[in-house]
Chain A
Amino acid sequence: MTIVEKVRALLGDGALLESGTDRVPRIAPGSPDAVALLLGTAHQEGWRVRVEGAGTWLPSDAPADLALTTRRLDRVPAVEPQDLTATAEAGIGLDQLRQQLADRGAWLAIDPPGLAGRTLGSVVATATAGSLRQGFGPVKDHLLGVTFVTGDGRMVQSGGRVMKNVAGYDLTRLQAGGFGAFGVIVLVHLRLRALPRADVTHLLEGSRDELTQVAEDIAASGLTPAALELVSPALARRDRWVLAVRLVGSPTLVAADEAGLGGRFTSLRAEESHAFWMRLAEGFAVRPVTFRIGGVPAASDELLDLLQHQVGDEWISAAPAAGAIRWSGDTTVDRLQRLRRTLAALEVPLTLERAPWPVRTAVGHFGAYREGAGPLVAGLRRTFDPGGALVVATDGE
């Protein structure tokens, strides 16, 4: 029996989707249990599996015997506006989820890079936070728990559905940013916010140096913007660098913070604001390579200089007050590896978020570890994928 015949016998015709250009069979299990069944079988049969969401972020190009897509796992079993929690399957598009939450007066404060239809599972697995990280924290801060399936088909629950939980080890943290190396996320329990009553964006154009200083002043002033993002001219589609300040909350709080910004900024209308942030997010899904680095806030300027020198700074977005920088563009394996080494010496991790398979496999999503951590990561991979069924380029060459 071929793989397709075996999968058809296992999951039925409905799970078989049309293959991509590389003719790798594409399987869309319709439930978490079906994911477990498929991965259990893959483990026994020695099949190599690549995991996909909507296929809009990572290219569907990893060599594999089959592609498992989570796109049929698109249900939202629970939204609890009173408790500000929700449970969603991993394959739901973030745009759809946002709409369902907004209908109930709730909001997920994550604005990841990529197209609007990126799946929740993709965002969690890659821990790709956007500019809202400044005010609401990284992706992991929005997770109450996840259910995942290991590379050998075991279904594991971690965390819970309530606001605080320290029962057992926090395996949710391992899955957030694990790039699927430790299992396939199938269900996510989310921490929500009330849909903000006021949400405004203000822009200031200027030189990078000037705007970095303004961002530092804002952070030091005690203002608590939801986003405080320094955006390169090409990415912002402006002539000069842009500092974007997003204020979110009650009208009173937002008005007070707006007053604190002073008069230099230009206020965007609601539709302009929406378009600005959407363009910024989509800008990172266009060029072949996207990575993020995370340093201390005071080093942001120095890190931007370093990027400009080593890989250029045409497509960059940075949160100077959080020390987070995202870069996008076209570059070589050699340059990425050299940059990662330089950054590692400064104790700054570089995470490769998106790239063609030859770059991913050469550079690795993670690549550099501090002393002693490499064996732990390898041990965790063996634990959650003992047969090496999941094709994920974690470490590079």
Chain B
Amino acid sequence: MSSRALADDLAAIVGPRHVRVAPAERATYAMDGLPTHRRLPDVVVLPGTREEVIAVIRLLATLGIPFVPRGAGTGLSGGALAEDGAVLIVLTRLNRILKIDPANRSALVEPGVVNARLSAATRPHGLHYAPDPSSQSACTIGGNVAENAGGPHCLKYGVTANHILALEVVLATGETVVLGSPGGEPWGPDLVGLFVGSEGNFGVATRISVRLTALPRAVRTLLADFMALRAAGEGVSAIIAAGIVPAALEMMDQSCIQAVEDSVYAAGYPRDAAAVLLVELDGRDDGAVQAEADAVAGLLKQSGARSIRTAADEKERERLWQGRKKAFGAMGRLSRDLVVQDAVVPRSALPDVLETIAGIAAKHGLVVSNVFHAGDGNLHPNISFDATDEGMRARVEEASAAIMAACIAAGGTITGEHGVGLDKLRYMPLIFDAESLGAMHAVRRVFDPDQRVNPGKVVPLHACREWAGVA
């Protein structure tokens, strides 16, 4: 079937305005937040209701055409790119908050609802949606579910998987299934937990029931600066080992600090510091939170903090956080392109791994800036580069591979919150054997026997052992 004929059939479902076939229109969807992968989709369709999503998927099932679900396209693993004739289904028009239930601290939303909008809508009830990826002003809850997104405050409150109660999912056949229950208890095995983080391979979530969290009554935000990266890493370990669970515990290195301070997001971070830690403590009782903040300040001093500043008011807190949350944007000043990497290591390995990464950057002649969730050991080494420079691109790939290898060697993993997508496929065999990859592939085929949903992502098929029992 030609793209034109397919577009006509899709237009009959969603209306001609919501099907994109012109190259300039499709180019908008050729990349996500990671500049190293580009795939121009043949057809892009934007359904506006769950019924339209079902009708589109049924049509594609009848025709045997693969498809890729996509939210706001802020992903950082090339996971929402369509290739080889796959249709891109963009879900941003399904953006209604269907219900907020303050008594049960839950909400029912469509997948295209923007993360920050949900928290804004629930704030009058004293509630918020806790997972807060840096892209939360743009990214969608559906995308968060697909990627099992994290964020700074996931240290205390948990990642997306900890906040999804139930899902309505459209499978590749167009059949609808309901996973989970309004209270979050599974019907049998935890299929919600299995679906979250499956990167769109198991189907399209059309309705998402989320858990909401009470807004903290007392908050303290501390900024500590260090003259050595290692000392900052040791400060992180000291806080965790003391049994204190901050709401967030973030680290930025000097390169990142300077990029932020040079930008419109300048937060007053000391420019000469080797690293800063942003520590947030929250709770119900002001005195108790202050006592924890004092304890944290003491631990950081012992670890070598040069100075510790506490946000005096909400305005200063927001400013400190803006610098952190917009750090990726600020790093755009350093070079034309930026690869935001993602890996996790045991927390105690942070000081060593950060030194190793600095060595890798020097060896490949690249600028690598670190801004990351130190409390979780979730690193984000950001590599600045110029994508038009072929030689530099090759060095970026080599450095990325070396960073992944270093994190794996330290007992860590290749992604903590960005997903595998296209970008990390090649690293999967480094952490999973053929049997385990085969098991993942077999599970995918339970949900999608023909492998038509988001093909070519997450599991490298060549590295899987055959599973005879697969349907």
- Neighbour of B194 across the interface among A83, A171, A256, A257, CB < 8 A: A171
With both beta carbons as reference points, the residue of chain A lying nearest to B193 in the complex is identified as: A173
Q: Bits for A46-85, please: 1 = Cβ < 8 Å to B, else 0.
A: 0000000000000000000000000000000000111111
Contact (Cβ within 8 A) A383 B446: yes
> Can you show 28 pairs from A to B with CB atoms below 8 A apart?
A84-B240, A140-B190, A157-B432, A158-B439, A160-B344, A160-B412, A162-B345, A163-B377, A164-B377, A166-B148, A166-B420, A170-B193, A173-B189, A174-B189, A176-B190, A177-B186, A194-B243, A323-B183, A349-B186, A370-B177, A371-B176, A373-B177, A373-B191, A377-B191, A383-B439, A383-B446, A383-B470, A384-B469
Q: Bits for B415-451, please: 1 = Cβ < 8 Å to A, else 0.
A: 1111110001001100111011111101111110000
Does B277 have its Cβ within 8 Å of any Cβ on chain A?
no
Given A224-B283, A380-B446, output 14 extra A-B contacts at Cβ < 8 Å.
Answer: A137-B162, A163-B347, A166-B418, A167-B428, A168-B459, A169-B444, A196-B243, A256-B284, A257-B284, A370-B178, A371-B177, A376-B447, A379-B446, A383-B442
Minimum Cβ distance to chain A for residue B370 (Å): 16
Residues in A whose Cβ lies below 8 Å from that of B244: 250
- Neighbour of A178 across the interface among B189, B345, B470, CB < 8 A: B189
Contact (Cβ within 8 A) A168 B183: no
Does A372 have its Cβ within 8 Å of any Cβ on chain B?
yes
With both beta carbons as reference points, the residue of chain A lying nearest to B349 in the complex is identified as: A83
Within 8 A of B (CB), among A148-205: 150, 152, 154-158, 160-171, 173-174, 176-178, 181-182, 193-197
With both beta carbons as reference points, the residue of chain B lying nearest to A293 in the complex is identified as: B185
- Neighbour of A365 across the interface among B188, B283, B468, CB < 8 A: B188
Is the contact region of chain A dominated by helix, strand, or loop, or is it mixed?
loop
Does A391 have its Cβ within 8 Å of any Cβ on chain B?
no
Contact (Cβ within 8 A) A137 B158: yes
Contact (Cβ within 8 A) B185 A166: no
Q: Bits for A302-332, please: 1 = Cβ < 8 Å to B, else 0.
A: 0000000000000000000001100000000
Minimum Cβ distance to chain A for residue B424 (Å): 7
Range class of the B interface residue count = 35 or more
Report the bound CA distance from A376 to B449 in whole Å.
Answer: 11
Contact (Cβ within 8 A) B292 A369: no
Contact (Cβ within 8 A) A347 B182: yes
Report the bound CA distance from A181 to B345 in whole Å.
Answer: 32
Does A39 have its Cβ within 8 Å of any Cβ on chain B?
no
With both beta carbons as reference points, the residue of chain B lying nearest to A139 in the complex is identified as: B190
Contact A154 B459, CB 8 Å, known A167-B415, A252-B288: no
Does B271 have its Cβ within 8 Å of any Cβ on chain A?
no
Report the bound CA distance from A168 to B427 in whole Å.
Answer: 11
Contact (Cβ within 8 A) A83 B344: no
Contact (Cβ within 8 A) B285 A257: yes
With both beta carbons as reference points, the residue of chain B lying nearest to A259 in the complex is identified as: B285
Does B225 have its Cβ within 8 Å of any Cβ on chain A?
no
Contact A260 B284, CB 8 Å, known A165-B413, A250-B244: yes
Contact A348 B185, CB 8 Å, known A224-B284, A370-B179: yes
With both beta carbons as reference points, the residue of chain B lying nearest to A197 in the complex is identified as: B243
Does A382 have its Cβ within 8 Å of any Cβ on chain B?
yes
With both beta carbons as reference points, the residue of chain B lying nearest to A344 in the complex is identified as: B187
Contact A372 B178, CB 8 Å, known A85-B346, A323-B183: yes
Contact (Cβ within 8 A) A171 B237: no
- Neighbour of A376 across the interface among B148, B191, B420, CB < 8 A: B191
Residues in A whose Cβ lies below 8 Å from that of B178: 370-373
Report the bound CA distance from A223 to B185 in whole Å.
Answer: 23
- Neighbour of A140 across the interface among B193, B197, B373, B415, CB < 8 A: B193
Minimum Cβ distance to chain B for residue A205 (Å): 25
Minimum Cβ distance to chain B for residue A284 (Å): 17
Residues in A whose Cβ lies below 8 Å from that of B431: 160, 167
- Neighbour of B185 across the interface among A193, A349, A365, CB < 8 A: A349
Contact A156 B191, CB 8 Å, known A168-B428, A168-B459, A298-B103: no
Residues in A whose Cβ lies below 8 Å from that of B459: 168-169
Minimum Cβ distance to chain A for residue B203 (Å): 10
Residues in B whose Cβ lies below 8 Å from that of A372: 171, 175-178
Residues in B whose Cβ lies below 8 Å from that of A35: none
Contact (Cβ within 8 A) A383 B240: no
Q: Bits for B197-218, please: 1 = Cβ < 8 Å to A, else 0.
A: 1100100000000000010010
The interface of chain A, by Cβ under 8 A from chain B, is 80-85, 127, 137, 140-141, 150, 152, 154-158, 160-171, 173-174, 176-178, 181-182, 193-197, 221-224, 249-250, 252-253, 255-257, 259-260, 292-299, 323-324, 347-349, 351, 365-373, 376-377, 379-380, 382-384, 386, 394
Contact (Cβ within 8 A) B179 A162: no
Report the bound CA distance from A81 to B242 in whole Å.
Answer: 10
Report the bound CA distance from A82 to B284 in whole Å.
Answer: 27
Contact (Cβ within 8 A) B458 A169: yes
Contact (Cβ within 8 A) A170 B197: yes
With both beta carbons as reference points, the residue of chain A lying nearest to B196 in the complex is identified as: A170
Report the bound CA distance from A81 to B241 in whole Å.
Answer: 7
Q: Bits for B145-163, please: 1 = Cβ < 8 Å to A, else 0.
A: 0011010001000110110
Within 8 A of A (CB), among B298-356: 344-348
Does B257 have its Cβ within 8 Å of any Cβ on chain A?
no
Report the bound CA distance from A354 to B111 in whole Å.
Answer: 38
With both beta carbons as reference points, the residue of chain A lying nearest to B103 in the complex is identified as: A298
Report the bound CA distance from A141 to B450 in whole Å.
Answer: 32
- Neighbour of B187 across the interface among A80, A154, A222, A368, CB < 8 A: A368
Contact (Cβ within 8 A) A177 B241: no
Contact (Cβ within 8 A) B284 A222: yes
Which of A85, A166, A222, A367 has the most C-beta atoms of chain B within 10 angstroms of its own C-beta? A166
List 8 A-B pairs, minimum CB-CB distance, nearest first.
A294-B185, A194-B243, A173-B193, A386-B469, A366-B188, A372-B177, A164-B416, A256-B288
Contact (Cβ within 8 A) B240 A154: no
Contact (Cβ within 8 A) B344 A222: no
- Neighbour of A250 across the interface among B161, B188, B292, B436, CB < 8 A: B292
Which of B171, B186, B245 has the most C-beta atoms of chain A within 10 angstroms of its own C-beta? B186
